[in-house]
Structure 1
Amino acid sequence: MGIVNVTPDSFSDGGKYSSAQHAVDEIGRMMEEGAAIIDIGGESTRPGANPVSESEEMDRVLPVLEPALDHFPDLFFSIDTTKYRVAEESLKLGAHIINDISGLQKEPRLASLCSVYNAGYVLMHSQGNPQTMQKNPEYENVLDDIFAFLKKGIEQLKKAGVSSIVVDPGIGFGKTLQHNLDIIKGLKKFITLDCPVLVGASRKSMLGKLLGNRPAEERLAGTLAVHYHCLMQGANILRVHDVKEAVDSVKIFEALCDKQEW
């Protein structure tokens, strides 16, 4: 899953795409590098980020999504949003997946909306909101608490008629460094939910902390290491900024695990 943030303030690629055409060109490059899914986001969810209005988010996302759907019919398009109207207008255009960082906490109606459009839904765990989520997050047991949250969300989605559900434990969203490490080390627990597991650690601040305050653009090797560890535990989807390198690592993983014949 390649990341396309059409925002001015995302932590890694904020302001990277100066126009819709620039973003569409980047999607084409990601497809050539091996991306199967493109995740388009119009609101930064980095710690401390300020929210944007529905109309502003749509003004960022829809002009990219519409031509991208036309240009790249073989790609799946995911919309990273917590807002009902943004999701609805995106699904009307033909988006395939809604990636909701709030896991139905902010907008429970997204479940029935995805059912109506026969769309997939990424159920992500988060604690708090982008303004507050990194201010002393606490859990009784981080793995058990996230597992219970995801299990409840899956039941809610299935009851609404959603059949394509992906779970994401939400690395970096209301978690300390130790919480993140515990999630990565214990990822196999979430495989038992019988839904594809998505992992998104690409360039995140936990890597910067582990690597001596390394800036985001210098965290590629750390990203690959974390994601490879997650692949070994059964992760199904990697959400990444660096598609080519991620695809390379998946090819090596598949060869070593005899998942492909060479």
Structure 2
Amino acid sequence: MKDPGFSLNCRGKLLDLSTPIIMGILNLTPDSFSDGGKHFEEKSALDQVAKMLKEGATIIDIGAQSTRPKAEFLQPETEISRLGKLIPMIKKEFPEVTLSLDTFYSEVVQFGFDEGIDIINDISGGNFDPKMFETVAKTGLPYILMHVNETYDLMHKKLIEEDLLLKMNRYFSEKINELQSLGVKDIILDPGFGFGKTVEQQHQLLNETEFIDFGKHPLLIGISRKSFIYKPLGKKHSEIVEETQKFHQQVLEKGAKILRVHDVAEASKTVDIFLNR
């Protein structure tokens, strides 16, 4: 498949996606499923950003609310409080970094935009906040659109569909049309691994990645430490680095442009192998 040469306009700076890049995860949450509480303090968060950038991350994705099953549901004010002044602190310390904000609240998006974020990462696809899409449009930032069930309460419920790929492509098409009608130009697609899909369906998506939107928009894959990999193997989330890299290699070969990961160094090696194969 010919590389379409995607790029993202991040506040006037073009982020080149002609070759795949790494998005490192920075959880500012005490209850995240894999690293809760580790980077809750500002110094710890800055140290982790430095580590991930050194290991090869291009984007740092900041999240102030865990979306694991049975996580505590937070209001936007709590997310904003947890973010504090970290965004401008990171920008000052690491001026070359591209910052993504993981939230499903338009109010938090506006706060993050004012503080200096470059990308919006919304796991809700605009479903959890009716003002999300119009707020995204006003910021002019690139937007990561994830496939997910319609409500917060249902986001982890496995709704079995006969043809997941067909349903997903219809979902993306409708959401993309809505976003573009509002003036949103840069849209990244995320199939939503770990959200409301069976183990079999998630492996189907890994095997058929190239048919998600048929390569019309850049694709982000987030399978890091996901239960559909470690539970069938009887392992812990921290024990599947090798298996995860095999799947990363697979999706890179099928056109993925961004890998959202906890283990940046290992994912960077996988991208290097892919580029030098």
Q: Same fold (TM over 0.5)?
A: yes
Give the match for residue 259 of structure 1. Answer: none
Listed one character per residue, the Cα deviations across residues 229-257 of structure 1 (whole Å, up to 9, x for unaligned) are 1101000000000111101110110011x
Give the match for residue 263 of structure 2. Answer: 242
The AA in structure 2 aligned to 1:184 is L
User: Gaps spanning 5+ residues in structure 1: where?
Assistant: 257-262
Q: How many residues align?
A: 255
Give the match for residue 66 of structure 1. Answer: 88
Cα deviation for residue 80 of structure 1 reads 0.5
Cα deviation for residue 32 of structure 1 reads 1.0
Listed one character per residue, the Cα deviations across residues 78-133 of structure 1 (whole Å, up to 9, x for unaligned) are 10000111110001111011101010111242222222222010000112556543
Cα deviation for residue 4 of structure 1 reads 0.4
Greater shift, 123-132 or 197-206, is seen at: 123-132
In structure 1, which of residues 172, 178, 181 is the aligned counterpart of residue 200 of structure 2? 178
How do 1:54-133 residues align onto structure 2 when only pairs under 5 Å count?
A: 54-129=76-151, 131-133=153-155
2:151, 2:160 → 1: CA distance?
14
Instruction: Please tell me whether the aligned partners of residues 21 and 64 of structure 1 are also in contact (alpha carbons under 8 angstroms).
Output: no
Task: Provide the identity percentage.
Answer: 38
2:158, 2:139 → 1: CA distance?
38
1:146 maps onto 2:168 in alignment: yes
Give the match for residue 250 of structure 2. Answer: 229
2:231, 2:141 → 1: CA distance?
37
2:193, 2:92 → 1: CA distance?
32
Instruction: Please tell me whether the aligned partners of residues 29 and 40 of structure 2 are also in contact (alpha carbons under 8 angstroms).
Output: no
SS in 1 for 2:167: helix
Following superposition, which runs of at least 4 residues in structure 1 exceed 3 angstroms of deviation?
A: 128-136
How do 1:8-87 residues align onto structure 2 when only pairs under 5 Å count?
A: 8-87=30-109
Instruction: Please tell me whether the aligned partners of residues 49 and 131 of structure 1 are also in contact (alpha carbons under 8 angstroms).
Output: no
Cα deviation for residue 163 of structure 1 reads 0.8
Give the match for residue 163 of structure 1. Answer: 185
Instruction: Please tell me whether the aligned partners of residues 127 and 150 of structure 2 are also in contact (alpha carbons under 8 angstroms).
Output: no
State the TM-score, normalizing by the size of structure 1.
0.93
Instruction: Please tell me whether the aligned partners of residues 198 and 239 of structure 1 are also in contact (alpha carbons under 8 angstroms).
Output: yes
Q: RMSD in angstroms over aligned alpha carbons?
A: 1.4
Cα deviation for residue 193 of structure 1 reads 4.9
State the TM-score, normalizing by the size of structure 2.
0.88
Listed one character per residue, the Cα deviations across residues 136-175 of structure 1 (whole Å, up to 9, x for unaligned) are 4222311111111111111111111111110001011011
Instruction: Please tell me whether the aligned partners of residues 8 and 15 of structure 1 are also in contact (alpha carbons under 8 angstroms).
Output: yes
Instruction: Please tell me whether the aligned partners of residues 77 and 96 of structure 1 are also in contact (alpha carbons under 8 angstroms).
Output: yes
Instruction: Please tell me whether the aligned partners of residues 261 and 267 of structure 2 are also in contact (alpha carbons under 8 angstroms).
Output: yes
Listed one character per residue, the Cα deviations across residues 25-66 of structure 1 (whole Å, up to 9, x for unaligned) are 111111111111010000000112121111111111233222
The AA in structure 2 aligned to 1:170 is G
The AA in structure 2 aligned to 1:179 is Q
The 1:14–1:131 alpha-carbon spacing in structure 2 relative to 1, beyond 3 Å, is farther
